[in-house]
Structure 1
Amino acid sequence: MGQNDKSSGIDCDTPVTIIVKRRAKPDRIEDFEEVMSGTTKDAMSFKGHLGANIIRPTKTGDYYRIVFKFDSMRNYLAWEGSEVRQQWLERYAEVEQGEQELEILSGLETWFTIPGEEALVPPPKYKMLIIVWISIFLLSLLNYLYLTPFISELHFVVRIAIMSLTLVTLMTYIVMPIMSKLFHRWLHCNK
C-alpha cells in the first residue's frame, strides 16, 4: 500500500482527509464498484467518520478515487485497523488491479481539496496565503462589527478566545469550502 510519509507525523486528534486511488480489473468493474460501495458504507458507521466522495475514472485516467474524512487521526486508525476493513481488503484483492495508493492530508491543504483530478495536488502556497488572508480579513471585520458589541465587557483573554474560536470555526466549515469553490479555477489553473 502506497502511503505518503506525512501521515506518520499527524497528531491523533487532528482531523484528516484520506484519498485512496484504486484501479478495477477491466472484467470486474461492476464487482469492484459493489466492493467500493460496501466499504464506504461500512466506514460511515465508524466513530468520527465525516463523509465520503467517490470519483469514478475520467477520460484521462483509470483510477477510482475515494475521498473520505475523519474527525481525528485516532478514529481513522481505528477504521484502518478494524476487522471490517480487513474483510473488505480481502474482497478488493479479487477485483482490484495493482495496489491502492493512499494519501492522508491534514491542515490547510484540506481547505483547498475539492474532489477531482486537480485536487490531489494542493495549489501553490502563495495562492493559499492570498485566499486565507482575504477570508480572515473579512471575517475579522465581521467579528469586530457584529461580535465585539456583545462581548466587549468580557475579559480580554476571553474575548480573544471567543473571537478566534468563531473565526476558525467559520473558516473551516463555511468560508473555506465556499472560497475553494469560488476560486477553484484560479487556485488550480495550469501554469
Structure 2
Amino acid sequence: MTAVSLEHATVPADAGEVTLLIARRVEPGYEVAFERWAKGILDSAAAFPGHLGYGLFRSSGGDAPWFLVHRFQDAEACRAWQESPERAAWFADCRGHHHSEVARRELTGMETWFATPGSTRPAPPRWKMAISATLAIYPISVLGSLFLVPHLATLPLLLSSAVVACVFNVLMTYVAMPAVSRLLRAWLTP
C-alpha cells in the first residue's frame, strides 16, 4: 500500500480522539477519478471543526482497497462531519466513479495503537491493551528516571514535566507501542 498523502496531526492521541478508517474498492480504470474525489472529500473534512488530520492510501494492487483515514478530536466532531451537508454533497457527486465502501472502523483511544492496517478485526480487550501499554511505558519510565530526569532537575517543575511528557509520548507512540504490539500480536489478537 502506498501513501498518497498524510496530513501530520498536531495533537497527541488521547482517550477522546476518534480515528475513522474507511476502505473503498475502486474498479480498474477509475483510480484517477476516485483519487480526485477522495482528495476533495478529505480536504473538505479537514476544514471541519474538530478534524485533526487525514490520510489517503492507494491500493496495493489487484482487488485490494484504498484507505481513507480521518482523525477527530472526539466522537461529537466525528458525528458532526458524518452527518454534515458537506459530506452528503460529496457522496451525491460520486456517481460514475465506480467505487464502493467495503469496510469501516471507528477507533478510539488506545485502539489506534493496536489496529492492523487493512484489517477490520476488532481491537483487543482493554485489559490486554492496558498490560501492553504498561509493558511499553515501564522501560521508558526507568530509563527516563535514570538518564533524563537528572538533567532536568534545575528546570522549573512545569517545564521539566512538559519535557518528560513530550519525550515519553514520542517514545511510546513511535518506538515502544509499535514494538510491544508487534511482539505480542499473537496474544493480543489470537
Answer whether TM exceeds 0.5 for this pair: yes
How many Å apart are 1:64 and its aligned residue? 0.7
The one-letter code of the counterpart of 2:27 is: K
Structure-2 residue corresponding to 1:69:
71
Structure-2 residue corresponding to 1:45:
47
How many Å apart are 1:97 and its aligned residue? 3.3
Does the 8 Å CA contact 2:57/2:68 hold for their aligned counterparts?
Answer: yes
- % identity of equivalent residues: 25
1:85 matched to 2:82? The reply is no
Structure-1 residue corresponding to 2:176:
179
The one-letter code of the counterpart of 1:26 is: P
Q: Which runs of 5+ in 1 are unaligned?
A: 1-12, 155-162
RMSD: 3.8
Alpha-carbon separation, structure 1, partners of 2:123 and 2:84: 33
How many Å apart are 1:22 and its aligned residue? 0.8
Give the TM-score taking structure 1 as reference length.
0.66
Query: Which digits, 9 at most, give the CA deviation of each residue in 1:29-67, with x for residues without a partner?
Result: 210110001111111111221211222112464311112
Alpha-carbon separation, structure 1, partners of 2:32 and 2:104: 22
Give the TM-score taking structure 2 as reference length.
0.66
**Aligned positions, number:** 169
Per the alignment, in what secondary structure is the counterpart of residue 27 of structure 1? Answer: coil
Which structure shows the bigger proportion of residues in strand conformation? 2
Structure-1 residue corresponding to 2:35:
33
Question: Structure 1's 100 and 90: CA in aligned 2 closer, same or farther, altered over 3 A?
Answer: farther
Which structure shows the bigger proportion of residues in helix conformation? 1
Alpha-carbon separation, structure 2, partners of 1:141 and 1:90: 54
Matches within 5 A, 1:148-163: none
Structure-1 residue corresponding to 2:18:
16
